[in-house]
Amino acid sequence: MDRPQDLLKVAVEVRRARSGDEPAILRCLREAFAPYREQYTPGAYADTVVNEAGLGERIKTMRVIVAVSNGEIVGTVAGAESPRGEGHLRGMAVLPQYLGTGVSAQLLAAIEAWFKIRGCTRVTLDTTQPLQAAMRFYEKHGYCRSGVVSDFFGMPLIEYVKPMANPL
């Protein structure tokens, strides 16, 4: 049987997270960021790979989207809009065996579409130096470093930004 990463594209359903999805979302976050745990400070890792309470707060205050393949949640992303008309991405994670299958691009397209509907004029996200593959992914999808670097629990947090086309 083919492994998902052996396929060019994986058919997924991209939908808003719903009650009962929490364990699978937490699994995506844990597995996606596990290879980077030693490169993160403990505080930065805990803020990135949230616990149940942190995920509950994220679901209350943000739009959380999941990608489902064969009945299994294989990826997630969250986003929130600011009063300034800006969207902000948070918590993009895809199970390692689904990297390179198009799942990340589908999640990104879905959250960006939501931002456009909400009238956001630009989208920001923050990432860390260990996530070089993520940086290349975001750059490929139109995001650029803003030049803003802040402290993230003792490690640099690098801001990326993408202007959004005005909604029709």
The share of the chain scoring above pLDDT 90, in percent, equals 89
Q: Which residue has the tokens 């996200």?
A: 125
Residue 152 or 166, more confident: 152
> Containing domain of residue 37, as a range?
4-120
Question: Is 109 part of any domain?
Answer: yes
Residue 26 to residue 49: CA distance in whole angstroms: 7
Which of 52, 73, 77 is CA-nearest to residue 63? Answer: 77
Which of 41, 33, 54 is CA-nearest to residue 153? Answer: 41
Residue 7 or 113, more confident: 113
According to DSSP, residue 77 is labeled E
pLDDT digits (tens, 9 = 90+) for 48-73: 999 999 999 999 999 999 999 999 99
* Amino acid making up residue 50: V
Question: Is 62 part of any domain?
Answer: yes
Which of 93, 103, 156 is CA-nearest to residue 126? Answer: 156
Are the CB atoms for 67 and 103 separated by under 8 Å?
Answer: yes
Assign residue 29 a region (left: φ > 0; alpha: ψ between -120 and 50; beta: otherwise): alpha
Report whether pLDDT(163) > 80.
yes
Helix (H) or strand (E) holding 26: helix 22-33
CA 91-95-99 angle, to 5 degrees, is: 100
Question: Is 98 part of any domain?
Answer: yes
Name the domain count of the chain: 1
Mean pLDDT within 89-94: 97
Question: Is 129 part of any domain?
Answer: no
Question: Is 153 part of any domain?
Answer: no
Question: Is 71 part of any domain?
Answer: yes
Within 10 A of 20 (CB to CB), how many other CB atoms are there? 7
At 57 the pLDDT is 95
Bridge-based pairing state of the strands 144-152 and 122-128 = unpaired
Alpha helices by DSSP H, listed for 39-166, are 42-48, 52-61, 103-117, 132-140
**CATH code, domain with 56:** 3.40.630.30
Question: Is 142 part of any domain?
Answer: no
The confidence band for 1, taking pLDDT boundaries of 50, 70 and 90, is: very low
Report whether pLDDT(5) > 90.
no
At 151 the pLDDT is 97
